[in-house]
Amino acid sequence: MKNIAVSSPSFSKNKILVEELIKSFPDSIVKINKGGEHLKGDSLVDFLKDSEGIIIGTERFNNDIIKNLPNLKIVSKYGVGVDNVDIQFLKERNISFRWKGGVNRRSVSEMTLGFMLSLARNLFYTNSLLKSGEWLKNGGYQLSGKKIGIIGCGYIGEDLIRLLQPFHCEIQIYDILDKSYLESCYGVRQVELDILITESDIISIHTPLTNLTKNLVNNTFLSKMKKNSYLINTARGGIVVENDLKNYLQKFLNDDLSYTLCGSALDVFSMEPNEDSELLNLKNLYCTPHIGGNAFEAVLSMGRSAILGLSDNSMEYVL
């Protein structure tokens, strides 16, 4: 390939990945997003317009962008989510889309476990109160032996099950696919969604964002949750209706007896960066800026996978 471009700010800021990319394609002109901007629309087209091979991250890559890139032959994905890419349109234009799932699974599953421990033991909530001058000696409850609900049991959901084994939790999973092999391997139980919602002490979401999962967690979902339960989302922001979640979290803080969940952890938001200060400042919301898959090791794994994708046609994504 004569011209390669990397639009992902995260990849572009990583000196190790940039050096490895240039070394892998010594005869190519490599264009890096040095400014670290989150490119979109015309600015994204302008950055990519001469490229035959590109590496993209979370940039919205739809047909309005693709049709204006006449030289494009290969799109390689940095990261595991593909909901930002119009893969069908790429296929129609004979542009190869390269992707590998699960390369950052341990990074996300470890962070999810951290959220679970922090929420269950009241670490984040009491830390927040203490900083505002309130000394609340409430140590929460042990994670060990609790009922955990995992919605979506792909690479990350399954890895989370592995990490939870020493805690001897009762794990229930919900997935649109048959995951019965996990029942025999780990002693989990695959159940209907309503059962998982109503019985779980902690619910953790690990699904892609699709027409089936968009706005899945709404007022109806939240109203069914177990009293004093927790919700964790490290998947995609559009799965949770944030205003509905905010209202339920506020019920707990206001001692409204109709509350169900008492706390939540979000690493992803429908709009990023999120600017809803009313939501972000809730004392019972543990929030992070979409860093679940961004452990140092995971960043290198995702980047190296994306570099390999520019030359390895075995990574072709199949619809």
What domains are defined for the chain?
3-103+295-315 (3.40.50.720), 105-287 (3.40.50.720)
3-class DSSP state of 319: coil
Given a contact cutoff of 8 angstroms between Cβ atoms, the answer to whether 279 and 242 are in contact is yes
* Range 127-151 average pLDDT: 95
Query: Inter-axis angle of helices 123-131 and 105-120, to 10 degrees?
Result: 60
The pair of structure tokens assigned to 60 is 């919205």
Q: Is the distance from CB of 158 to CB of 180 less than 8 angstroms?
A: no
Q: Is 105 a catalytic residue?
A: no
Mean pLDDT, the chain, whole residue set: 96
pLDDT tier at 241, thresholds 50, 70, 90: very high
Query: Which of 290, 297, 304, 316 does the annotation list as catalytic?
Result: 290
Backbone angles phi, psi at 308, to 5 degrees: -60, -35
Among 272, 278, 297, 304, the one annotated catalytic: 272
Query: Quick check: is 20 catalytic?
Result: no
Q: Is the pLDDT of residue 319 over 80?
A: no
Q: Can you spell out the DSSP letters for 218-242?
A: SHHHHHHSPTTEEEEE-S-GGGB-H
Spatial distance between the Cα atoms of 138 and 58, rounded to a whole number of angstroms: 39
pLDDT digits (tens, 9 = 90+) for 26-48: 999 999 999 989 999 999 999 99
Total-model pTM = 0.92
Handedness of CA 36, 39, 45, 46 (dihedral sign): negative
Read off the pLDDT of residues 305-315 as tens digits, 9 standing for 90 and up. Answer: 999 999 999 99
70 burial class (0-12, 13-18, 19+ CB within 10 angstroms)? exposed
pLDDT given for residue 142 in this prediction: 97
pLDDT attached to residue 318? 80
Give the H/E segment covering residue 82: none
Q: Is the pLDDT of residue 53 over 90?
A: yes
Among residues 98, 206, 236, 304, the one annotated as catalytic is: 236
206 catalytic? Reply is no
Does the structure show a pLDDT above 80 at 200?
Answer: yes
| The pLDDT value given to residue 1 | 82
Q: What's the pLDDT at 225? A: 98
CB of 29 closer than 8 Å to CB of 1: no
**Tell me: the pLDDT tens digits for 72-117?**
999 999 999 899 999 999 999 999 999 999 999 999 999 999 999 9
